[in-house]
Structure 1
Amino acid sequence: MDTNTRSAVEGGSFLIRPATTENVFIPEDFNEEQLMIAGMCDDFLEKEVLPHLVAIDQQEEGLMPALVDKAGALGLLGAAFPEDLGGLGKDFVTATLINERLGGGHSFAVAMAAHNGIGSLPILYFGTEEQKQKYIPKLASGEMKGAYALTEPGSGSDALGAKTTAKLSDDGKNYILNGQKIWITNAGFADVFTVFAKLDGDKFTAFIVEKGAPGLSLGAEEHKLGIKGSSTRQVFFEDCTIPVENLLGEVGRGHVIAFNILNIGRLKLCAATLGGAKRALGISITYAKNREQFKTPIASFGAIRHKLAEMAIRTFATESALYRTSAWIDAKEEEFRGSGKEEAESLLGAAEEFAIECAMLKVIGSECLDYVVDEGVQIHGGNGYMDEYNITRAYRDSRINRIFEGTNEINRLLTLDMYLKRAMKGRINLMGPAMAVSKELMSIPDFGEEDGSFAAELKAIASFKKAILMCAGAAVQKLMMKIESEQEILMNIADMAIET
């Protein structure tokens, strides 16, 4: 079924409303074109990326940019960009599918996601018409590569604590930037950076900085635990001069760009980790079928079968949550377009509507992949510790996903924070369902049997949701405004919601 035929739902409402088949998209709903694109991504990885993983990890000169160029030639970089800006104009589900299918590409997947996500979307969604015409077609083709410079030595999760400064030149023609950014993905070969700095000391603002700008310099490549083939460098600004036309968005509104792009980035990260989990699961199944002990393939042993089954279950659950949310964003985007909103405003509004789900998906996807690769190493036994087996690379590469795009701790806290703020603003009605749960607890229990398909499972899910509302309601009632400082409680309730 086309995603646009589904009616839009409210962000966060899964907690208070039962799911219906009319509003749930599943991978079996992919259309023929989407399946063809998925196949193209699979072929690209098998032919262009996976045979060269060692060279990629060794950062062979020019290899990663060349791979990004090849992806651009296939239309994979700008698939979701508008056609009039050099993209293919595909919907959000298709863009998510591309991220997933390329997610098993290790360091290439990171470079790719950074380029067509945080490296390009700030200009696409917040740039002036002139900026979009100048940069987006080249970013869509791969002629230019993008990077996103937000993190600093003293400001990671606290992005607004940035120390990088910007000031207007005396003649009013340029901005002058001074400061330092760290851990910038694609920095070694990027042609254009989205940089965040404080204008006049306090106005957190975004700027477009091109490679070669006077005063821009790069540190050496970082030596990392994993994703070794991904270019990660410090970026320095010493009286870095850029034209005033390179102001991105509005002065003092850089946080709007940063946080909105992160909403989309978190969902895309879930897609990439899903792709990585599927590939690691496939590697582990193949190994278990071929590895013999006691003259028997280890895949026939109950302990190994249990591991593989649990890996598959978590991967399936992640996939279900990811595409359900992606289709909801598509439907909400279509609703906003129908109300007269522009393209960029429609997608940003749709992503913000489901910011709660995006934060949860980031946690779900990254922790699913961590579980799958960890068990994959265990299934491989001693071989899993040897570099010649690809599961070791998957294990190393996985760990970063619980850190970037906001740590999983931050995303757990955000989940409850956004729920409570939306409830206080009247955007979502948590009070009514919470009061209904309280009333139900005081009434005579219903011991009747439910009929129908998956009746017991549906009843269990409904009970999980009631437990969440009861615990959250009790916490708010007891702690009131102090609840923000009770992070253990917030994170445990977030885990309840994530598991549900």
Structure 2
Amino acid sequence: MSTESINKNLTRGGEYIVKETKSEDVFTPEDFNEEQKMMRDSVIEFVDREIWPNKPRFETKDYAFTEELMRKTGELGLLGVSVPEAYGGLGMGFVSTMLVCDYISGTSGSFSTAFGAHTGIGTMPITLYGTEEQKQKYVPKLATGEWFGAYCLTEPGAGSDANSGKTKAVLSEDGSHYNISGQKMWISNAGFANLFIVFARIEDDKNITGFIVENDPENGISFGEEEHKLGIHSSSTRQVFFNETKVPVENMLSERGNGFKIAMNALNIGRIKLAAACLDAQRRVITEAVKYANERVQFKTPIAKFGAIKQKLANMATAAYVDESACYRAAKDIEDRIAIREAEGNSHQEAELKGVEEYAIECSILKVAVSEDVQECTDEGIQIFGGMGFSADTPMESAWRDARISRIYEGTNEINRMLTVGMLIKKAMKGQVDLLGPAMAVKDELMGIPSFDTPDYSELFAEEKEILKKLKKAFLMIAGAAVQKYGQDLEEHQQLLMAAADIMIEIYMAESAILRTEKNAKRFGEDSQKNQIAMSQLYLFNAVEKINSKGKEAIISFAEGDEQKMMLMGLKRFTKYTNMPNIVALRNQVAEKLSEENAYIF
């Protein structure tokens, strides 16, 4: 497909909220090419051979084993999937890097963290911001696993407020190097990293600056003990102390004062990759839960046949299917945007940076949605196992503990929720997404007389797609009124922002599943997708219920009198079904298919 045709059909980041996307314009896992399928299968084979059988070792703080597996991963080329071939990598596209991150992360949060920290925030900043000399010197070593990387941003007083770090970089008198002094904490891979991406402030600069720092204990670098953590027990996590650490001036990463920008762009990529890293964890937890539910007999009946268990299994599978749909939809949008920019003459570095930045809203949406779904999945996994689920002898207990960090990594989910709405409003103010026009149209519609015509819902997903349109109107109604009332002060109303973000999130996730299922039903036949249709309908029903609840919460928080009444009536209109689905029947259908296959198979 030419970049011209891609550009024509490709929505901008956040634009899904005001535009209708056609199913033929979304990418799905069923669109993987042969190379991607081979890559997926080889990663699964590696995980099943090297990681899954050794899962108990990760609970014993076996950091050496994590490092050993990382070296094996490097030998297979998996640490350099996204690294250009010129620097020793495979030079594969964004979808392929997501795929590897997805399937290599399913069995151990410890290994997933080590892999993500190295390939993402350890290597990627040099690949995207480094000079040619820096890339030639460091990236080949990182791509092959000869060296490992770590990322030193967080400090005791600088977490979500990353730009407030106190670490200092002082230029030497002869101008040859900087002396870096400061304390960094929660540094993944610190125990075996050869190289650190370090952020420090030069003089009284407004923004921090990035540096590439080689690990040399004789150069003023020391470490705290390994942290005692709730989960990810074999992920090396230590404090790193810099005491007059000499860093050559040529090791400054990008320009002076550009560190905050590097950190934020690294987080954008980290967020969508974190979502991918939670996908196979869900698949494997569901499979283990299904197997146990089929084997566990109570009252002379396998518990998989009980309605309460069917509900749990169906909800777990639905979330996993929807999450996968949304992740690969966004990944391909990013990949296409990168291709367009490269065709326009941008360097690979600039194209990838701008391509990911374009979809920063979707990256935050996915980070929130999938991290919360994997936590819910593991929690329900424990519940299905009952008392055995609470035992460390079963995989559910460690999976639950490992999943918990994902809601904190890469910016807390609360921060990401507020960013989601804030970034959309900024895009609207820059003219990149037209929010004002559609919001005014919704306001006019509320003042008019609603249609009482009976629509034709005979085609697959006809009503569901109409509901999605109405849900978008609900968001525009609430967001438009909130912006009109509070203007620039909207960011101070955090609970309102989080409610609005939940509406945005549910719309994107539900739409992604419906578009994927519709696309596959058209090419493979509806009968082949009957369970995927059920899951898409089930997720949308739950999304409508949540949007109704969050919408009320938002409206009541800032609207009064006649305005409040009108908006609540509008919300009721925008969250109304003509034909309510039988969600119990949908759940039973999905759960029975899982039980029949004895695994997650969607």
TM range (shorter): over 0.9
2:315 is matched with 310
1:204 is matched with 208
| C-alpha deviation, 1:390, in angstroms | 0.5
Q: Is residue 469 from structure 1 mapped to residue 476 from structure 2 by the alignment? A: yes
| Greater helix proportion | 2
Matches of 2:305 and 2:153 in 1, distance apart? 49
2:354 is matched with 349
1:283 is matched with 288
Residue 334 of structure 2, aligned match among 329, 340, 344:
329
Q: Is residue 262 from structure 1 mapped to residue 267 from structure 2 by the alignment? A: yes
Whether contact under 8 Å (2:94, 2:332) holds in the other structure is: yes
Q: Is residue 497 from structure 1 mapped to residue 499 from structure 2 by the alignment? A: no
Closer, same or farther in 2 for the Cα pair 1:101/1:421, shift >3 Å? same
| C-alpha deviation, 1:80, in angstroms | 1.2
Residue 182 of structure 1, aligned match among 168, 178, 185:
185
1:38 is matched with 40
Whether contact under 8 Å (2:89, 2:143) holds in the other structure is: yes
Matches of 1:406 and 1:3 in 2, distance apart? 33
| C-alpha deviation, 1:4, in angstroms | 10
Whether contact under 8 Å (1:11, 1:353) holds in the other structure is: yes
Matches of 2:42 and 2:328 in 1, distance apart? 19
Residue 11 of structure 1, aligned match among 13, 16, 32:
13
What is the CA deviation profile of residues 446-467 of structure 1, one whole-angstrom value per residue up to 9, with x for unaligned ones? 2331332211111111111000
| C-alpha deviation, 1:380, in angstroms | 0.5
2:597 is matched with none
| C-alpha deviation, 1:277, in angstroms | 1.2
What is the CA deviation profile of residues 289-334 of structure 1, one whole-angstrom value per residue up to 9, with x for unaligned ones? 1111112111111110110000111111111110100000011011
Residue 418 of structure 2, aligned match among 413, 417, 438:
413
Q: Is residue 191 from structure 1 mapped to residue 194 from structure 2 by the alignment? A: yes
Number of paired residues? Answer: 500
What is the CA deviation profile of residues 134-181 of structure 1, one whole-angstrom value per residue up to 9, with x for unaligned ones? 111111100000100000000100001100000111111111011000
Pairwise CA RMSD of aligned residues? 1.4
Residue 222 of structure 2, aligned match among 192, 217, 226:
217
Whether contact under 8 Å (1:3, 1:25) holds in the other structure is: no
What is the CA deviation profile of residues 417-467 of structure 1, one whole-angstrom value per residue up to 9, with x for unaligned ones? 101111111111001111111111122212331332211111111111000
Whether contact under 8 Å (2:107, 2:284) holds in the other structure is: no
Q: Is residue 172 from structure 1 mapped to residue 175 from structure 2 by the alignment? A: yes
1:77 is matched with 79
The structure with the largest alpha-carbon Rg is: 2
The alignment-based identity, stated in percent, is: 50
Matches of 2:354 and 2:66 in 1, distance apart? 33
Matches of 2:441 and 2:427 in 1, distance apart? 19
Whether contact under 8 Å (2:82, 2:93) holds in the other structure is: yes
SS where residue 245 of structure 2 aligns? strand
Mean CA deviation greater in 52-61 or 34-43: 52-61
1:54 is matched with 56
Point out 4+ residue stretches in structure 1 off by more than 6 angstroms. Answer: 1-5
Q: Is residue 67 from structure 1 mapped to residue 69 from structure 2 by the alignment? A: yes
Matches of 1:4 and 1:498 in 2, distance apart? 29
2:147 is matched with 144
2:437 is matched with 432
SS where residue 176 of structure 1 aligns? strand
Mean CA deviation greater in 180-189 or 451-460: 451-460
Mean CA deviation greater in 185-194 or 20-29: 20-29
TM-score, reference length from structure 1:
0.98
TM-score, reference length from structure 2:
0.81
Matches of 1:138 and 1:2 in 2, distance apart? 35
What is the CA deviation profile of residues 247-285 of structure 1, one whole-angstrom value per residue up to 9, with x for unaligned ones? 111001111110111110000000001121111111111
Whether contact under 8 Å (2:63, 2:236) holds in the other structure is: no
| C-alpha deviation, 1:404, in angstroms | 1.1
Mean CA deviation greater in 442-451 or 87-96: 442-451
Matches of 1:17 and 1:5 in 2, distance apart? 18
Whether contact under 8 Å (2:180, 2:242) holds in the other structure is: yes
Q: Is residue 21 from structure 1 mapped to residue 27 from structure 2 by the alignment? A: no
1:105-116, aligned counterparts within 5 Å? 105-106=107-108, 107-116=110-119
Letter in 2 for 1:190: A
Letter in 1 for 2:301: T
| C-alpha deviation, 1:3, in angstroms | 10
Whether contact under 8 Å (1:166, 1:175) holds in the other structure is: yes
| C-alpha deviation, 1:368, in angstroms | 0.8
Residue 488 of structure 2, aligned match among 478, 481, 493:
481
SS where residue 400 of structure 1 aligns? helix
Whether contact under 8 Å (1:57, 1:230) holds in the other structure is: no
User: Structure 1 regions of 5+ residues with no counterpart?
Assistant: none
SS where residue 433 of structure 1 aligns? helix
2:380 is matched with 375
Matches of 1:339 and 1:476 in 2, distance apart? 35
Matches of 1:395 and 1:2 in 2, distance apart? 44
Residue 161 of structure 1, aligned match among 160, 164, 178:
164
Closer, same or farther in 2 for the Cα pair 1:2/1:269, shift >3 Å? farther
Letter in 2 for 1:497: M
Matches of 2:292 and 2:475 in 1, distance apart? 40
Whether contact under 8 Å (1:4, 1:334) holds in the other structure is: no
| C-alpha deviation, 1:337, in angstroms | 0.5
Matches of 1:60 and 1:480 in 2, distance apart? 52
Letter in 2 for 1:131: Q
Matches of 2:472 and 2:260 in 1, distance apart? 33
Whether contact under 8 Å (2:3, 2:339) holds in the other structure is: no
Q: Is residue 128 from structure 1 mapped to residue 125 from structure 2 by the alignment? A: no
1:88-127, aligned counterparts within 5 Å? 88-106=90-108, 107-127=110-130
Mean CA deviation greater in 192-201 or 4-13: 4-13
Whether contact under 8 Å (2:224, 2:239) holds in the other structure is: yes
SS where residue 229 of structure 2 aligns? coil
Residue 450 of structure 1, aligned match among 449, 453, 456:
456
Matches of 2:111 and 2:117 in 1, distance apart? 10
What is the CA deviation profile of residues 463-500 of structure 1, one whole-angstrom value per residue up to 9, with x for unaligned ones? 11000000001111112222110001000000011011
Mean CA deviation greater in 289-298 or 356-365: 289-298
